[in-house]
Amino acid sequence: MATFITYFYLRWVYSAINAASKVAPNLAKSFTNSSLVVSA
């Protein structure tokens, strides 16, 4: 039972990291764009 919970938790962590790695570049891009607009 404990191994099943650990497996499920590791899968959740992996999917969270995977989602973050997909979202991070978009966030960085939008942040750069907004800061460029503010500076201009």
Q: Where are the beta strands (DSSP E) in 1-40?
A: none
What lies within 8 Å, CB to CB, of 31 at 6+ separation is none
Cα–Cα distance measured from residue 16 to residue 36, given in angstroms and rounded to the nearest whole number: 30
Write down the pLDDT at residue 14. Answer: 94
Residue 23 has a pLDDT of: 86
**Residue in the structure block whose two tokens are 């191994």:** 3
pLDDT of residue 40: 58
pLDDT in the model for residue 7: 95
Confidence at residue 11, expressed as pLDDT on a 0 to 100 scale? 96
CA triple 15-22-18, angle to 5 deg: 20
Per residue in 2-39, pLDDT (tens digit) is 899 999 999 999 999 999 888 888 888 888 888 777 77
